[in-house]
Structures are given as structure tokens and as C-alpha cells.
Structure 1
Amino acid sequence: MKKLEKLKNQKKIFLISKMKIVIACCWSYYNKGDAAIALATIKLIQKIVPNVEITMLAFDHHSFIKHKKELGDSIKVLPMPSITDSLQPLRVLFGTASRVALKGLFGPLFLILSLALMPLLKLFDSQLKCTLRSIDDSHLVIIVGGNYLYSHFGFYIHAIPIVYAKFLRKKKTVMLGHSIGPFEDALSRTVARIILYRMNLVTYREELSSLYVRKNLNVNAPNMFVSCDMSFFLQSPKTTCEVLESQPRVGITVRKWLFNQPNLYKRYIDSITQTAFNLMKDGFEVYLIPFSYIGGGEDDLGPCKIIYSKLSTIYPKKVYLLNVKEESPTSLVKIMGKLGLHIFIGTRMHSVIMASLARIPSIIISYQHFKAHGISQQLGLHNYVISIENITPHRLMTCVEKLLKHYERERTNLIMTIQQLKKINERKICSALLSLIHVD
């Protein structure tokens, strides 16, 4: 009771003096997973601190500005430091060099050089000046979750606002809902270890990342704990166990995954296509839902069109390709629920999370490190995970048949799991943040 009263008193302080919070490392509104993380983080912060001034730092800041109505008119959106006019040439130069030789060296050099030059560059770059000022004026900096803290050049791009806020400006800095690792070289392990040690709060979105950090990076502290992906805090429909419509439907997300061997990508696409054919023979309707529209390796529309063209030649009235580019993450959850999807086959992890919020059990195709296996364990769907490198039509169809066989049990368990996951972790995160936030 005393702790609850203390938290209530803290809230009263916030109403008197406006808090300034920066939410950094957001990606793009057109990747629905990243948009879900950003939106859910904003809504949770506003729930804790009603009188808050929030600034988002995003790579594709124009996409978030276009959708300010969904974020809230009071939210300010600025570019991440590395995409400003003065730092972008450096990022391109060092990023290109890191792909040619000495991969583990150019990332740290880019980070150090960027931080060293920023005091000078901001005199000539108004974008960079505004971005850095937002951090300078903030009471708290939140690094949004995702899966970018591992050995690659992008790790150092994301590290710029982290190091600037915590190490140079001495700001309270927290990391919410992260998958972390693996780090393959000594330099990136050292940088990651230093950053994690200095954070005021770190929450992992799954247990596997927590284990990795403790065992492989030898970092452990009371202010580090396992919670969940922030997108679980999106508003979802009321959880009931109503009987579904008689027409069976399956939702599918795919992505343009870049393998060293081109035949593996073909096998992945063929596995999903053949499984969809098998389900259509059994009376299913198929809904292809691209979850990322950024371009390059993050363009889901391309592979969805490939599968759609194959399916529609034989079953033109049973396959649908949805364009949800401009839809909000919250709307997507509602759309998936209204479609009456029976099951879901998801490569994009956040498509699985949103399907789960809509009470739809999923087959999960794992493509990157810990996140799919770790989050599937939280959802109780760990028996329905297939690695993208090892996928075959037979393996995927076998997994689908197993889910259909145990459908009612898995769906009921999923509904209960989501309720508990949201309730427990919202309380944990809110309590941890409230203990950090105060007006100096």
C-alpha cells in the first residue's frame, strides 16, 4: 500500500511540471512491427505520465509525421542523428566500407567519429541541432525495443543516441522490450557490455536474450529483467472464446529474406505456396498480408505478389492480397479479428503478435536470432516454430496439421496467456519507469 501511495504521489508531481521524454531508435511507420512498438510505447508512457511531452526520433521520420493523427498531435517527430544531412554521408561511407573488409572495425569508428564531430556539425545542420537539443532538454530517453543490438553495422547506427544521451549528456536512459545478441567479435561485445552496464533500466522481450547477456556478455543487474515486446500493449478486442464462422481462413505473412544460397529463398516461398495450396484444397481461404513496405529486403509486397500470382491461377476466388500500408497497428489487429482467420502462418514476428492479440494461434517461421523462439515460448506456441533455413513444404504442412488438430486447446491457452502477459508486464514496466521518472 505504501509503495502504491508513493507512485500516486509521483504522478501528482508530473501534473505540476511537464515531463519531457525522448523515444529514440524508431524505424518506420511502414514496417508495421516497428510502428506497433512505437505506438504502444507512446500509449504506455502517456498512461503513466498524463502531462508528458514526447519527442520521437525515427529513421523514416516522414512516415510517422504523415500519420501524426494516430500518434497524437502533441507528439513531435524528428530524424535520428545518423540520417541528418551532415551525418548521412559518413553513415553511407562507413557502411559501405564495413561490407568490403574489416567488418568489425568500421562500426566503432563510425560511432566514435560521429560523436566527436556532432558538436561542430550541429552548428551547420539544423536537423541535427534539433535532434540533439531534444535529448539535451529531456528528463528521460527511451530506446525502443526490437532486434538490432547484435553484430552488424546497424548496431552502431542505433548506438549514437544511446551513447550521446547516457554517456555525454548523463541522461536517464532505458531500453524497453529488446532482443539482444549475438555479438560475434570482441569489439561489438565490448561496446554492448559497456552500454548495457550503464543503462538505468533494461527489459528484454524474451528469456533467451536475457540468458545470452548474462552468460555471454557477463552482464547482470537488478535493473534488468524479462518483460515482453512492447507491441503486446496495443489495444486488442475483448477476449472471448466465441465459435468461429464455418468458412476456414488462414492469414500469411512472408518477407524477402536474403540467404547466401538463392535456392533457400525459393524453397521458403515454395513451402508457403504449397502449404497454401493444400489448405485451399481443404476449403480454406488464404489472406496474404504484407507487413513491411519499406523497400529492398524489407519489402514484403514483392514475395506476397509472387505467392498470390501462383495461387490465383488455380483458386482465383479463394486468395486475397491485402494492402495495409496506411493502416495503423491497432487497426490491423481489428482487421485480422474481423476477417475471422482460423490460423495464421507468420514470418514477421509482429504479425504473429498481432494475430495473437486477435486471438488467432500461429505457425511461426523463425528467421533471426532469439526473437521467434523466445516470444513463441511466452505465447505457448513453441511447438509450432520452424526455422526459415530448414523449412520444407512437408515440415510446414505437418506443423499446420498439428495446430489444426489441437486448435481449440491452443486458442483457449493463447487467450489466457495474452491476458496474463499484458497484465503482469504492464505492471512491472510501469512500476520500474515510475521509480525512475521525476522532475529534477
Structure 2
Amino acid sequence: MAKICMTHGWHDDNKGDSAILMGTIDFLDQLIDAEQGRSDVSGAGVAKAEGHRIDILPIDDQVFATERGPFRHIRRRYRERVTVGQPLMPPMRDKLRFVTSLLGLGAKMMFGKQGRSGNDIIDAADLVVVKGGHIFHNGSFKKTLSSWLALIGYLAPVMLARKAGKRVLLLGHSFGPFKTPAQERFFLRTLSDCLVVSREEITHAMTQKADPKLPHALLGTDMAFAMAPRASDEHAAVKAPNGVASPYAVITLRDWWGLDQQAFAERVEVLSRSLLESRERLGIERLLVVPHVLGPTDIENDQRISQLVFDHLQKALATAGGEDLATRIELVQGDPSPDALVDLYRDAQFLVGTRFHSVIFALMSGTPVYALSYCGPKAPGIMRDFGLGDSVQDIENFDPARIVADIEQLVADKAFPALAEKVIAEKLAITADITRDFLRRAPGRAGVWGQRELKLNDAAFPAPVATATTAAPVNSAPADAAAADTMAADAPAGDNSATAAHDSEPVVRGA
């Protein structure tokens, strides 16, 4: 059984980050099991491992700061296979501890092991994987010194893993913006012997312009696409009130630094009214406002902006003679798992997503989707991959009329679900081939893969003959729905997930 250290773990309140972890675990399980099962490597009769050991290192101890336990959905899914270590770096707001930790990192780099749990986990791992997403950026910092400190803090696990001679994978990332060109160069040079898989073209172009160009930098996809969704009935009452199916669309909202909430609510009001007035053409009866992310920080809590916009919609529609429209808008509440959200979005007629991973969950389900972009290249880049480059607008100045017109076309395009499935399968196959090739070819120490120790190099793993487009999709294996409802074993010290409240039933608030 391989020991995999996954760094930069974030709280399960963020359903997208949770899905990225799940997708990466499912992806690596299948990839490693496939390698282990090869007769030319493992020999006949070697049984596949029942998944691989995962040690998660949180990005900082901020993830423990909410009343709901971090990694609770991860633990339900993977049970005793997952442990959570102490973070390598404290949050930057704790300046003294942060600087002290940076000095400790310098000592580690110069003199070797210092005995901290995060360092030990990296040292003991067969493979270090940096959780994907939009982690590496510091362009919003006002002071250059603070931006340098943040960048080094983000890179600390990567630098420690390289010092320990580990193979390091960065799967499904978006980078930038950086405060200065020098910081961008430093960042890219730090990744020079890692596998860097970008999830969209804009980030990939940055890696190709690096000086020197990164030798293992290729274009793949967001790792949430690799999550094998499990059956869920968490939203049964939402999808079919009183047991009667009622077609719906979904809109996900988020706050953002500097966002004019009142102006945003007014634009969403115009959009919602237009969508519901076009409901016969769009095939819907209701519009669900879904808080996709619940924290862990205030700016990350979609419940607040969703409640604010919902209240505004109820008042505005009712006072303008739109009482019937007001009753058709509902606010969905609760703590759904990523599996439950995928299930909810799959049955929607379409989704307007501000939250980036609500867009990805819809694409996974073949649901027509329109994106409101709020940070960096991730939404425009991913949508472009699916031929939806025109179905993106900025969160702060979107045109509701244009969205409604585009959605009518998207809903009418009956070929879209099959196209989305094809694009995802191809991108996952390419990502699998990239990762497999890197693990076969990269120099480094031997790792324990399955029941024998194997050297991951050309001699042990000959290059594959099949092309990227012929590889099987990584997320095609059936999932055990019962396992998703099983709580994990007792949590280690510092992780309160085992004592956290179970997922609450979703609650729908209508007018």
C-alpha cells in the first residue's frame, strides 16, 4: 500500500476543495492499482491494494477554526485510510508564529530533519501530491514583503519534499497572479523537477514561458472531474417537494472582496425574474439558490450572500407584483457532501454558477451551465475547454439579458451532455498518462507500491504504448454508496471531525 502525502488540504466547508481531494484520491487509487496489476511489473497473482494510505497536511491551522470538523466528508468516504497531520505553516495573520515557522523551514532545508509532524509525514511518504486548485497566487497583497512571505509559505511543503528527494505532483492547478515578475520566476523555478499539471490553458501557457521552461509541465484538468460520484438522496425532498418532481434550475452565489453586494443583488434580481419569466421555454418551474461553500472564513461563506440576495428577491418581486415568481425562488440550506451537490446539479435543467466548482459539478453531470467569473483564469479557462468560452461573464458587471439568451441556446443543445462527457474522459485520460509517465521515469528513491518495493524508472516501468486518447476514464469505476454513510475511525489530535455534527438534512426556504 503506497503512502501518499497530500499537502495544502482545505476545509470540507469548501465543497470544491473537498471534491478536489476526493477526485485526486480516486484518481491515484486507480492509477496505482493499474500499475500494480501489470504482469510485467508485479508478477502474476499479486492482489491489488484496497486503496492507498493518505496523509493530509492542511494548508494552515485556520482550517480547524470552525465548529464543523474539517475533512468530515473525506473521512466518511475513505474512513481509516485517511489521517490528518499538523500544518507546516500557521496562517499569516499570526505573524510571529509564521516568521518562526519560516526560520524553522530554513533550518530544515539547511540541516535536515527537525522532528515536526508535517516534516515526518513528508519524509515517510512514497509520493507527495500538492492538492489542486487556485492556491498559488499573491497578487492581492499590498506590500511586497508580505507577498514574498506568503509565497514562500505556500511553497514550504514543496521545498521540503524536494529536499527529501520525493517525487512531487501538482495535479490540476491554476497559478497567479503574482505580485512581481521576480516572484513568478522564483515560483516556477521551485517547481522545476516536479510534475506540474495545469487545469486550464492560461496557467499552462505560464509554465511554458518559464525561464527555463519546466520540463514536466503539461495541460490536464481539474481533479474534481476525477471524483467518482456516489449515490445520494440528501436532496430528495428538494428535487421532489411532497414527493412530486418539480423541474428546477440552480444559481450559486458568492461574496468577493470589494463586491458591491446591493448592486450584485439587483443584477441577480433582474436575472432571476428573466429566467422565471422564460420558464416555459427553459423547462423549469423553480429557481434554487444554493450556498455551495459554507466557509471556513467569512468571505468564503456563501450562506450570507445567498440569504441577502434571497431576501432581496422576495421583497423586490413581491412589491412589484411578482408574488408568483417570489414563491418559485427557494433557498437550499444544510451541509451537503460533494456527492449530494453533484446529484442536485445533475437533475437541474441548467445552472448559473458563481462558485467555480458548482460549474465543474454541472459539467461533470452534463448540465448546461453559465459561469460568473470572480478570480483569475480558472472559470474562463475551463469553460473554453468545453466550447463555452462565450458563456462566462465577470461577477461585478454581468449582463442578465445576455445570460438568459445564452442559456436558452445551451438548453436547446441536446448534444452538450455527450460532448461534456467526452471532453472530461479525454482530459482525465491525458492526465493519467502524464502522471503515469512521470512516475515511471522520474529519478528518486524506491517507493512501496503494493506488495513489493519498486524503483520508478525506465527499467521498471517501460513507456506505455497506448496513446492518451485511448486510455480508460479514471472515474469510471462504480462506487460503494453504503461506504459514504459510514463515519471514520476516531480522529487524531487536532482534528475534530469525529466529534462534529453529522450532515444536516437540507432545508428549503420558500417565500
Q: Distance in 2 between matches of 1:430 and 1:271?
A: 46
Instruction: Report the CA distance shift for 1:43/1:415 in structure 2 as closer, same or farther (over 3 A).
Output: closer
Aligned residues, how many? Answer: 385
SS at match of 1:220: coil
Q: Is 1:183–2:178 an aligned residue pair?
A: yes
Q: 349-358 or 228-237: which moved more?
A: 228-237
Which of 202, 222, 232 is the matching residue for 1:229? Answer: 222
Q: TM-score, normalised by structure 2?
A: 0.68
Q: Partner of 1:6 in structure 2?
A: none
TM-superposed deviation, 1:368: 1.2
Question: Where does the alignment leave 5 or more consecutive residues of structure 1 unmatched?
Answer: 1-17, 96-106, 239-244
Q: CA RMSD in A?
A: 3.0
Q: Distance in 2 between matches of 1:322 and 1:219?
A: 49
Letter paired with 2:357: H
Higher RCO, 1 vs 2 (CA within 8 Å, ≥6 residues apart): 2
| 1:405-427 CA-partner distances (Å, limit 9, x unpaired) | x4324344324333433344334
Q: Partner of 1:15 in structure 2?
A: none
Counterparts of 1:270-285 in structure 2, within 5 Å, are 270-283=266-279, 284=284, 285=286
Letter paired with 2:86: P
SS at match of 1:228: coil
TM-superposed deviation, 1:400: 3.1
Contact 2:128 2:169 in 1 (8 A): yes
Q: Partner of 1:133 in structure 2?
A: 120
More helix per residue:
1
Question: Where does the alignment leave 5 or more consecutive residues of structure 2 unmatched?
Answer: 34-48, 140-146, 232-243, 316-322, 448-454, 456-511
Which of 328, 345, 354 is the matching residue for 1:336? Answer: 345
Q: Partner of 2:380 in structure 1?
A: 373
| 1:140-199 CA-partner distances (Å, limit 9, x unpaired) | 211111112123444333211111211x32322121111112323144223212212132
Contact 1:267 1:392 in 2 (8 A): no
Percent identity (aligned): 23
Q: Partner of 1:47 in structure 2?
A: 30
Q: Distance in 1 between matches of 2:362 and 2:388?
A: 12
SS at match of 2:390: helix
Counterparts of 1:91-110 in structure 2, within 5 Å, are 92-93=94-95
Q: Distance in 2 between matches of 1:368 and 1:161?
A: 24
Letter paired with 1:116: G
Instruction: Report the CA distance shift for 1:361/1:324 in structure 2 as closer, same or farther (over 3 A).
Output: farther
Q: Partner of 2:56 in structure 1?
A: 56
Instruction: Report the CA distance shift for 1:381/1:66 in structure 2 as closer, same or farther (over 3 A).
Output: closer
Which of 355, 366, 375 is the matching residue for 1:359? Answer: 366
Contact 1:148 1:155 in 2 (8 A): no
Q: Distance in 1 between matches of 2:72 and 2:309?
A: 32
TM-superposed deviation, 1:92: 2.1
Instruction: Report the CA distance shift for 1:317/1:434 in structure 2 as closer, same or farther (over 3 A).
Output: farther
SS at match of 1:287: strand
Letter paired with 1:131: G
Letter paired with 2:122: I
Contact 1:349 1:372 in 2 (8 A): yes
TM-superposed deviation, 1:138: 1.3
Instruction: Report the CA distance shift for 1:54/1:435 in structure 2 as closer, same or farther (over 3 A).
Output: farther
Q: Is 1:71–2:78 an aligned residue pair?
A: yes
| 1:177-232 CA-partner distances (Å, limit 9, x unpaired) | 11112323144223212212132x111111111112323x3342442110100011
Q: Distance in 2 between matches of 1:189 and 1:176?
A: 19
Contact 1:178 1:229 in 2 (8 A): yes
Instruction: Report the CA distance shift for 1:218/1:110 in structure 2 as closer, same or farther (over 3 A).
Output: farther
